[in-house]
Amino acid sequence: MGPDLYHVIPAPKKDESFDYFEVREFDGNPDFLLKYADLVTEVEVFEDDFEIIVYPDIATRDIVLETNEDHAGKPYIVGDIALSGKEIAAIESENSLQGKQSMSLRITDNILRDNRFTEVYYDVISYETGPSLVKVLFFSEKDHQRKDMSEAFYDDFENGKLYFDKASVIKAGSCLWAPDDKTREDLQASFKKLFIDTFVEGESIFFASW
């Protein structure tokens, strides 16, 4: 199946709701956020754990960083984790992690490189950093569909990006994929009715998730 397509509108927070955007997602359209400033609220979220990566050698570090962008910029040590106590303590001190609960996990992975798989291992030390307050705007769904889309859709749209103009929704509708013309026409008619015809600029938000 294809991506999930969403047509949503801002809404007051409800106790049972977990559907929200962080306000930073509106950096490209601050006027929209200002319009609904009275609905902006705060939620408590748990940040990603602080992590220290311990690579056994430089070659492993280079291979992992080539293929795992999530580890880029994280503090790391090269060496045996059992012999790296001083280096670990120094990073803990620099980042005020003393006394934080931590967990060490050995990661083993097969990484495709130069048309062959290379097995690597490294250790990840994770520290619980606790919750933080984040400003958010809750939303409610007007419609949600999961549709197969043409390759053009993935060229023109970004995963999770918010779109506020009807022209973008019309373009998304033109990217609906189906095995035959009749099915495609039915899909486009349904999409037009549920997404395009009811989309109100200044109120509606369209986004896709895959």
Per-residue pLDDT, 47: 67
Per-residue pLDDT, 137: 97
Residue 56's domain spans which residues? Answer: 50-129
Per-residue pLDDT, 106: 96
Residues 149, 191, single domain; the answer is yes
Q: Give CA 138 to chain center in angstroms.
A: 17
Per-residue pLDDT, 193: 93
Q: pLDDT class for 209, splitting at 50, 70, 90?
A: very high
- End position of a domain, from candidates 92, 113, 129: 129
pLDDT at 15 over 80: no
Is 12 in contact with 98 (CB distance < 8 Å)? no
Tokens 């998730």 sit on residue: 209
Number of domains in the chain: 2
* SS3 (DSSP) at 65: helix
Q: pLDDT class for 73, splitting at 50, 70, 90?
A: confident
Q: 25 lies in a domain? A: no
pLDDT in tens, 101-155: 899 999 999 887 777 888 999 999 999 877 778 899 999 999 999 888 999 999 9
- End position of a domain, from candidates 129, 146, 164: 129
Residues 54, 82, single domain; the answer is yes
